[in-house]
Amino acid sequence: MKESDTLRRFMFEKFNIRGAFVHLDATWRAPLDLKDYPEVVRDQLGQCMAAGALLSSTIKYNGSMIMQIQSEGPLKLLVVESTGDHTMRSTAKWDGDVTPGNLEHVFGKGRVVFTVDSETAKDRYQGIIDLKGENVAETLETYFRQSEQLETRFWLAANGKSAAGFLIQKMPGSGDDDQEAWNRAQILSATLTDKELLGLSAEEILKRLYVEDEIRLFESEPLSFRCSCTRERVSNVLRSLGIDEVHKIIEEEGDVSVTCEYCNQKYSFDSVDAEALFASHVPPNTSATKH
């Protein structure tokens, strides 16, 4: 039986190859319960959520990592955010009917933007690559080859119940033996079906794929859905709009309402809230003269 909502890293004992599996269940169904996604959008989003979890296993960071696909086709925007403590959220935007097809058909011309947003400036990072190839997995492989000089392979799958993925990566400093093992690992990994990836445990998949290799499988790391939106964050956005703009909206609409795109949480501010919003943020010098 597979474990739910977990990330499992593994490594080949004798070769310079590492990998990771991710199985998302409740973490994946949470965004599905919030929005009625067309099937094509749903499966792309699920694959990207699995990819986001896998990516977060390849680097260490505090804060959040955002993988965003921006494109001109029917599926316009896809966002997956994962935090250093393994919580995730995701959302997508699309126009009209999104019919099944290859990457270009679904997304049109597009690009993937990776952002690591960290509290410390030294960990902040942004990378961009054009959406290209058969699927998102292939785009990610190209990205790792070009930007990180790391041979990496991704397999991603999703349906209405679960999303899953795994990666293998050839580590720097590999010799001839490693190259041979890497070639073999890729061929064996490619035999795994989506159904197996979605339904089998990490142990079962490793046994099924690399029966002749010694593999060290690490402890499972739990993943969960959590939205990081707060009333305070929305307040900051409203403050940046300015007091006049906020008053204008309240005059026209009665209040200012902001709905979180990730979790549908609604934040409303009436005229009293708006007063408090700006009163509490008067710069220290001017507030001193008021007393």
Q: Which of 125, 119, 174 is nearest to 147 (CA)?
A: 125
Question: Which of residues 91 and 152 has its CB atom nearest to Zn ion in the complex?
Answer: 91
Question: Which of residues 90 and 169 has its CB atom nearest to Zn ion in the complex?
Answer: 90
How many residues of this chain interact with Zn ion, rule: CB under 5 A? 6
Instruction: Pull the structure tokens for residue 225.
Output: 């859905």
What is the radius of gyration, based on Cα positions, of the chain? 22
Helix axes 243-253, 231-241, angle to 10 degrees: 100
Binders of Zn ion among residues 184 to 243 (CB under 5 A) are 227, 229
Binders of Zn ion among residues 24 to 83 (CB under 5 A) are none
Rounded to 5°, angle at Cα 122 from 260 and 54: 55
Binding mask 149-178 for Zn ion (x = CB under 5 A): ------------------------------
Question: Which of residues 34 and 158 has its CB atom nearest to Zn ion in the complex?
Answer: 34
Report phi then psi at 173, rounded to 5.
80, 30
Report the distance separating Cα 33 and Cα 277, nearest Å. 32
Q: Classify 111 as helix, strand or coil.
A: strand
Euclidean distance between the first and final Cα of the chain, in Å? 66
Residue 290, amino acid:
K
Question: Which of residues 53 and 229 has its CB atom nearest to Zn ion in the complex?
Answer: 229
CB of 34 to Zn ion, least distance (A): 9
CB neighbourhood size of 163 (10 A): 31
CB of 35 to Zn ion, least distance (A): 12
CB of 89 to Zn ion, least distance (A): 7
Binders of Zn ion among residues 243 to 272 (CB under 5 A) are 260, 262-263, 265
CB of 265 to Zn ion, least distance (A): 5
Question: Which of residues 67 and 157 has its CB atom nearest to Zn ion in the complex?
Answer: 67
Residues that bind Zn ion (CB under 5 A): 227, 229, 260, 262-263, 265
